[in-house]
Amino acid sequence: MLFTGILLSLACTTDETPDTTDDDVVVDETLPTDDTGATDEANIVEIAAATPELSTLVDAVVAAGLDETLSSDGDFTVFAPTNEAFEALGVDLNTLEPDVLAEILTYHVIAGARVDSGSIPAIADSVADYTLFFDTTDGVMVNDAAVIQADVEATNGIVHVIDTVLLPPTIVDAAVYGGLNELVGAVTAADPAVVELLSSPGDYTVFAPTDDAFVAIADVASTLDQAALTGVLSYHVFPARVPSDAVPPMADSALINDGGYGVTALFDTSDGVVINGYSTVVIADIKTTNGIVHVVDSVLLPPNIVDHAVAAGLTSLLDTVAAANGDVAGSLSGASSKTVFAPTNDAFADIADVAGTLTENQLRKVLLYHVVPAYAASGDVATGSVPTFLDDQTLDVVVDGGVFVNGAEVVVADVHATNGVVHIVDAVLIPQL
């Protein structure tokens, strides 16, 4: 599998140059060469012009105004489609706008590197700023095209002749070319709207699990109906194009919960990119026409409120939940929508002396006092009293340059879960015990 190779190395090489020569493609051998076999006076465009089977490519390069660039000094690697490849595309190139034609052609070019067939990487970014995918298990494949003649040297680069025109990929194409078979199968089994979304124009970020990631949750996946599977996949999609060096602390996914909000994912970028505390980006910044893909080593399962507390590192809150009387965790994990004001670890440390004197039942009351039996995103909150899970006891909310609950400030708002929303506060809320 191609992405298995990527996981081992982003710059894997083959020990031997694959035999990819096609006798039907003939480069003009009368062009002068130096001792290394490179044409000492012919650049990439001149080589293509001297090769009859590449005449359509040459015409397209000239029409797009790229002939001067590909004749200039530098190191380029060009994957050159044959005339038959252009014919099979079934598109009259004369009908394409120059910028569209240029985008297609520059997708065939890697700049700044002379990549021979023995040094093919697993992925590479093209001049068009879309990613190319390679498989060297049997010759050289680039996306769905085979290299039929490799390593044609020029003064300013190297040319590999291919049998198929490369088209800039959508997110779905990237999953196919990348060998993410389990993900492709899951997308196919989900609501057709998922395929439509990931193939349509737009700007999305997708965290794409490896095949091994899907195998690891096979027992869970086998229990999912189409709607649940669609929900899981939607949780991997975010409505913005976000490169790995611009990942925010949290973001709302395309999965919409009962409150009408996207379910939040939490990100840790202190050492790479980790999502929800357990899924790590192993390949970043695969660029497509409609977004960016980051490959992850675990399937992201839509989190409930307790899951978010775990991912956010609210260990003191979780320890208190475990120590309290009754099934508080079950209440927080229940399907009904709710709002939780979750104290930070420092907030619990501030009341350590008091908390140490509380009984299990009193701890339960403290925790239930932080839970409102309705969905209340920060933008929907107004000044006033709100009911809690603790009978007959309310919280006093003040909205004034921020959101304050019984004087505690909301320091992180709107962590949306499948069953509600979490607002992190800087103090523990103490009810009448």
Q: Which CATH architecture has domain 2-162?
A: Roll (2.30)
pLDDT in tens, the chain (433 residues): 333 333 333 333 333 444 444 445 555 444 444 444 444 579 999 999 999 999 999 999 999 999 999 999 989 999 999 999 999 999 999 899 999 999 999 999 999 999 999 999 999 999 999 999 999 999 999 999 999 999 999 999 999 999 999 999 999 999 999 999 999 999 999 999 999 999 999 999 999 999 999 999 999 999 999 999 999 999 999 999 999 999 999 999 999 999 999 999 999 999 999 999 999 999 999 999 999 999 999 999 999 999 999 999 999 999 999 999 989 999 999 999 999 999 999 999 999 999 889 999 999 999 999 999 999 999 999 999 999 999 889 999 999 999 999 999 999 999 999 999 999 999 999 999 8
Q: Answer yes or no: are the C-beta atoms of 175 and 232 closer than 8 Å.
A: no
Assigned token pair, 353: 């002396």
Domain ranges of the chain: 2-162, 171-296, 305-425
Same fold, 171-296 and 305-425: yes
Q: Answer yes or no: are the C-beta atoms of 291 and 205 closer than 8 Å.
A: yes
Q: Answer yes or no: are the C-beta atoms of 188 and 195 closer than 8 Å.
A: yes
**Triad 90, 94, 100: Cα angle to 5°:** 85
CB proximity list for 283: less than 8 A, separation 6 or greater: 3, 6, 7, 10, 123, 294, 295
Q: Answer yes or no: are the C-beta atoms of 214 and 221 closer than 8 Å.
A: yes
Q: Answer yes or no: are the C-beta atoms of 125 and 135 closer than 8 Å.
A: no
Q: Is the dihedral of CA 196, 199, 203, 206 positive or negative?
A: positive
Q: Answer yes or no: are the C-beta atoms of 187 and 108 closer than 8 Å.
A: no
* pTM for this predicted structure: 0.88
CA 415 vs. chain centroid, Å, equals 20
Q: Answer yes or no: are the C-beta atoms of 148 and 117 closer than 8 Å.
A: no
What is the pLDDT of the chain when averaged over all its residues?
Answer: 91
User: Given this model, what pLDDT does residue 3 score?
Assistant: 32
CA dist., res. 19 & res. 13, Å (int): 15
- CATH number for 305-425 (one of 1.20.1440.60, 2.60.40.180, 2.30.180.10, 3.40.50.10800): it is 2.30.180.10
DSSP annotation of 432 reads: -
CA dihedral 58, 62, 68, 70 (to 10 degrees): -30
Fold of 171-296: FAS1 domain (2.30.180)
